[in-house]
Amino acid sequence: MNTPNRHQIGVRPTADGTHISVWAPEAEAVQCQVEDQETLITLDRKEYGYWETKTNALKAGDQYQFVLDGEAYPDPASYYQPDGVHGASQVVDLSFNWTDGEYKVPAMKDLIIYELHIGTFTNTHDFQGTIDKLPYLKKLGINAIEIMPIAQFPGERNWGYDGVFPFAVQDSYGGPKGFQQLVDAAHAQDIAIVLDVVYNHFGPEGNYAPNYGPYFTDKYGTPWGSAINFDDAYSHGVRDFVLANVRMWFADYHVDALRIDAAHALKDWSASHILQDIRKETNAWIEEQERDHYLIVECDLNDKRYLESLEKNGFAMDGQWVDEFHHALRVAAGGKPEGYYSDFHGVADLAKSLQHGYVYTGQYSEHRQKFFGTDTIGITGDHFVVFSQNHDQTGNRMLGERSSMLFSADMQRLMALTVMASPFVPMLFMGEEWSASTPFQYFVHHSDEELIEAVRKGRKEEFKSFQSDAEAPDPQSETTFADCVLKWHEVDSGVHQQMLAYYEALISFRKANSILRQVDRSLVTVQYDESKSVIVLSYAFEDQLMVGLLNFSSAAQTVSLDSAYSWERIWDTSDPAWGGTGPTADLFNGEITIPAATGVFFQQL
C-alpha cells in the first residue's frame, strides 16, 4: 500500500513551503484556517483518506486549525498546542542544533533507569528543572531517565496518560524546543532518554481525533473507553499515525527508547500486530541512522511472545516492565497481600521471579481466577525491567505512599539490593534514592466539572478492595499535586543523606561487579527458606563464585555457606555508613547470622 511518508503526517515547514497532510477519510472538503488571518488553504484529496497540499501561506509560528466540512478543529497530529488542548495548533520548525552526534545509548543490560515525572521532579515543573538536575543523576550513577508521558494533556497537572495530542509536547513543560534541549543536555551527560508513550487510548478531554475519522473502534473495550482502531475499517490511517509518531520521537527528538504504556490494551487481530509494525519501523530507523533504539513495554499478560523475535512471530520488544517482581518483593517485605497483591506469597514467589522473571508461568491465579502466564525459556535477563517502586505502584495506592512511608530504612535498603542484584535491568522511581518524604498521588487538571466529578468518583471506586478508612485525595486539587513535588533540600540531611549514600554505593557496586554486569539469569541459582523468609542467590561466572543472603523476616536468621570455600563479605545493607546497625556478624564454622531486614553478599576468595 502506497501511503504517504509517515514522518510527513502533520504540518511541516520545508525549504520550498509548508507541507500539510491530514487524514480525514470521511470528509467531503478539508481546508486549513490560518489564525488571525482570513486565509483559508484548500487541501487536495489523496488516496486512502489523506488530504494534502504545500503552501507558502503558512509558516513556523503561525497558529491554525483544519476546517472539515465547515467545522474547525485543532490538528490531531499537531506538534504544539501553546494554548492547551482546546486551542489552535501551531506550526513548529523541529530543526535543532544537536550536539550529541557522538552519543551512543548503552546496551540494554547496562542501563540503570530512573523514572521521573517532569511536573513533580522539581519545583519549576518543567524540562529546565530536569536539565538542572542532570549532574546529580550522573553522580548517582544513572545512565537512563524514563520520562512519564509528555504528549499534550488538559491543564498543567497530569500524570500524562490523559494526553490527546500524541505529537505535541506539553506546553507547560516547555514545549518542543524545551524537550529537545533536555535530550541534548542528557546525552552530554551520557544519560539516555526513555520516553513513555500511550498508544492504547486518548484522554477524556480535548480529544478531537474522532472528528477526523474512525480513530476508535467499538469492537473492543479498554479501561479508558473505546479501543484505538488498529484492525477495523480505516485502521490503515490510525496505524500510519502511530508509526509516524514513533519515528518522530527518534528523528526529531533523538529519544533513545520508547516505553509503550499498557501494551496488553493494544487490541489488534491484524496479520501484523501494531507492535510488530512498530518494531519494523524502529529497525528501519536503526539501520538508517546506525544508532540503537529500544522498545520497552508495560504488559500485564506474562506472555513471552511480546519479547520473542519477529522470526518466531513475536513482537520483538527489547524489554518489559515486570510488575510481578515488584508485587512479590513488596509482599516478601511485609506488605499486605490485598487487592492485586493477594496473588503473591512472600519469598517463594520472589525467588521464582528472581530466577524466571514472571511469577505466574501457567499456574492458577486466584486473583484472576484463571490459569495465567507462559514460561520465559529463551528470554534473556536484559529483557526484564524490575523495580521496588514506580509511578503506578506508588500512585495506585489511595494515599500515594512511597516505600519510605511503608517500610523501615533497613527494609528499603534490602529491597533496593534485591533489585540491583537481580539478573535484570534495574529501575528507580524519582526520590526513592533518598527515601523522599513526599507521596506520589493521582492528580489531574480538567476543565469540565462533570468529568472532574467522574474522576473523583472513579478514584474512590478503585480502592474498594483495599481496606482503609482514609479518603482518597482530590485528584483535581492543586494541593494534591503540590504535595507530590520532591523536596530537594532533604538530600542533604539525616536519614535522607544516608539513604542517598547507600544508593550511590549500591549502583556503583552493581556496575563494578563483573558477575552482576552480565545481567545473565543463567548464572544465578535461587533458593529460599519460606519458614525463615530468607532467599539465597548463588552466582557462578567463569572462575568466580558469589553468594547473596537476603533476610526478609523481622528476626535474625542463621544461614549456612559452603565451608569448602573461604568467603569475603563485599556488601552489607546494615553497614553503619548508611545508617545500618551492623556490620553483620562474621562467618563462624560456615554459618552466619543475618539481622532482620538485611542483605549480605560474599565472594569466594
Q: How confident is the model at residue 339 (pLDDT cuts 50, 70, 90)?
A: confident
Residue 195 has pLDDT above 70, yes or no: yes
Rounded CA gap, 90 and 251, in Å? 20
326 annotated as a binding-site residue = yes
- Res 347: pLDDT: 98
- Res 2: pLDDT: 42
pLDDT (mean) for 525-531: 97
- Res 128: pLDDT: 98
392 annotated as a binding-site residue = yes
Residue 407 has pLDDT above 70, yes or no: yes
Rounded CA gap, 313 and 519, in Å? 25
- Res 468: pLDDT: 62
Grid coordinates given for 407: 517500610
Q: Contact at 8 Å (CB) between 405 and 385?
A: no
Q: Which residue has the higher pLDDT, 301 or 462?
A: 301
pLDDT (mean) for 400-427: 97
- Res 402: pLDDT: 96
185 annotated as a binding-site residue = no
Of the candidate ranges 128-137, 333-342, 434-443, 551-560, the one whose mean pLDDT is the lowest: 333-342
Task: Give percent of the chain above pLDDT 70.
Answer: 98
Q: Could you list the active site residues?
A: 261, 298
Which of 222-231, 454-463, 481-490, 573-582 is most confident?
481-490
pLDDT (mean) for 102-120: 98
Residue 465 has pLDDT above 60, yes or no: no
Residue 228 has pLDDT above 50, yes or no: yes
- Res 36: pLDDT: 85
391 annotated as a binding-site residue = yes
Residue 365 has pLDDT above 50, yes or no: yes
Architecture of the structural domain at 115-195+246-451+474-502: Alpha-Beta Barrel (3.20)
Asked if the bond preceding 583 is cis, omega within 30° of 0, the reply is: yes
- Res 472: pLDDT: 85
Q: How confident is the model at residue 226 (pLDDT cuts 50, 70, 90)?
A: confident
117 annotated as a binding-site residue = no
Residue 538 has pLDDT above 70, yes or no: yes
Residue 528 has pLDDT above 70, yes or no: yes
* CA end-to-end distance (rounded Å), the chain: 63
Rounded CA gap, 332 and 584, in Å? 21
- Res 235: pLDDT: 97
**Each residue's pLDDT tens digit, 503-523:** 999 999 999 999 999 999 999
pLDDT (mean) for 428-442: 97
158 annotated as a binding-site residue = no
Residues of the chain with CATH 2.60.40.1180: 524-604
254 annotated as a binding-site residue = no
In which region does residue 359 sit, left (phi positive, over 0), alpha (psi from -120 to 50) or beta (all else)?
alpha
Residues of the chain with CATH 3.20.20.80: 115-195+246-451+474-502
Q: How confident is the model at residue 4 (pLDDT cuts 50, 70, 90)?
A: very low
**Each residue's pLDDT tens digit, 257-315:** 999 999 999 999 999 999 999 999 999 999 999 999 999 999 999 999 999 999 999 99
228 annotated as a binding-site residue = no
Contacts of 589 (CB under 8 A, 6+ apart): 563
- Res 467: pLDDT: 53
Rounded CA gap, 295 and 314, in Å? 13
- Res 1: pLDDT: 40
Rounded CA gap, 155 and 561, in Å? 58
pLDDT (mean) for 127-144: 98
pLDDT (mean) for 91-117: 98
- What type of residue is 532? K
Rounded CA gap, 535 and 82, in Å? 53
Of the candidate ranges 69-83, 183-197, 376-390, 550-564, the one whose mean pLDDT is the lowest: 550-564
pLDDT (mean) for 540-544: 94
Architecture of the structural domain at 524-604: Sandwich (2.60)
393 annotated as a binding-site residue = yes
The mean pLDDT value of the chain amounts to 95
